[in-house]
Chains A and B, each alone.
Chain A
Amino acid sequence: MRGQAALLETALLVVAMVLTFVVAQHLFKVQYIQSDYALKINAERILIHWADTGVAYAVAYGATGSGDPQYAKAALETLLPPNVGYNLTVISLTRDVIYTIARGYNPARSDGATLILMRGEGRIISLRLSR
């Protein structure tokens, strides 16, 4: 009887410790999956590259002030492989959305970044990428 009780105690102790470790691991797990992180960092780097090279102005304003979706599409599709979907939205700070272009975009598995330009009335370029 005494031996069975000790065995039960040991078993319960082991179960409690295993559960504690499982829960603790879950508690400190990385929140984003690796692919989302890669998408976010890629979106940020594309926008930084655009800001550095002046492409951001062509995308957000164009020659007419209403942006250039064709140019944006070409600029994005030379950088992104076909298996990566995208959604690019250019928003005016005074006139709402100016245009949106997308290709194979899956919001459930996406991440992205934004860039703010303050020329004229200002623009927000939102680039989201998905797998």
Chain B
Amino acid sequence: MRGQVLIGVAALIFVITLLLLVALPKRTIGPTVAIENYTTAKREVEHILRNAAEEAAYATANTLEAILSNTQNLQDGALRDLYSRHFNVLFTDKAGAYAVLRGVFCKLDTLDVEVSRGNNYFYISSIYAVAACDNGIMAFINSAADVRVEFKNLGAFGGVKAAVNLTRDQKQIQLITYAAALYDKSYRFPIMGAFDPRESIWYFNITGLHYIQVAIPPEYCMMSNPTYYVAIAAASVGEGAATVVVAKPGGKLCGR
């Protein structure tokens, strides 16, 4: 009798084990790739911020006439607001596509954009943005731009020479893309040049200092009371540094 109970117990253990084997999902023990998964997710969100920052510079430069037509005279506050709006839209768009792919929802937590000005020009001088995702990932970008603009009299032509220095986390950016255009208050589009990232110029300089030069045609540079201004968009490639420069000459730029 005692032996039968023992066999019964052993059989029961065996059957339960078999049932568990079939019913339970396969288990994985040992090391996992949690650190790498976390790092990859963090990098991906960080790069969404970086790409939004760079593309927002082109989008802002391309729509400067929107704030020009309202105010008739560009203000640095308007440039900051326009850039922030484009950043928000681009980030939301990218985060939406990312959510579809990875199932992770991210939102823009903080965006601080600063504008600095020099003599007859102003530009976006720093971008700080933080994104927070529902899986606990937080990512940020912190970039800055230092710009000096010179107006040149080149005889028949006028010229604008911008020395652009982009940095990300105090590290100088060596490879940038840029585009420049000439706007006139009378028109709602650039009268020369365009801001299409696909047609932008690639510029590598080991020192990190980039000289962007724009020629002003005679019919504009001859104006003693200029109605035009020069816009330049410069951005890194995947580093999250960008700037938009708006320069408006104070007088005649060419001839005697």
State A16–B18 Cα separation when bound (angstroms).
12
Say which one of B2-10, B180-188, B208-216 lies at the interface with A.
B2-10
Please name all residues of chain A whose beta carbon is closer than 8 Å to the beta carbon of B3 when the two chains form the complex.
5-6, 9
B97 touches A16 (CB 8 A): no
A54 within 8 A of B: yes
B98 touches A118 (CB 8 A): yes
State A57–B239 Cα separation when bound (angstroms).
10
Contact with B along A5-41 (1 / 0, CB 8 A): 1100100110011011001101110111000010011
Instruction: Label chain A's interface by main secondary structure.
Output: helix
A84 within 8 A of B: no
Interface size classification for chain B? 35 or more
Among A16, A37, A48, the residue within 8 A (CB) of B43 is A48
Q: Among A23, A31, A119, which residue has the most Cβ atoms of chain B within 10 A?
A: A119
Q: Which residues of B are in contact with A by a Cβ distance under 8 Å?
A: 3, 6-7, 10-11, 13-14, 17-18, 20-21, 24, 26-31, 33, 36-37, 39-40, 43-44, 47-48, 51, 54-55, 94, 97-98, 101-102, 175, 197-198, 202, 237-239
Q: Which residues of A are in contact with B by a Cβ distance under 8 Å?
A: 5-6, 9, 12-13, 16-17, 19-20, 23-24, 26-28, 30-32, 37, 40-41, 44-45, 47-48, 51-52, 54, 56-57, 63, 65, 93, 113, 115-120, 122, 124
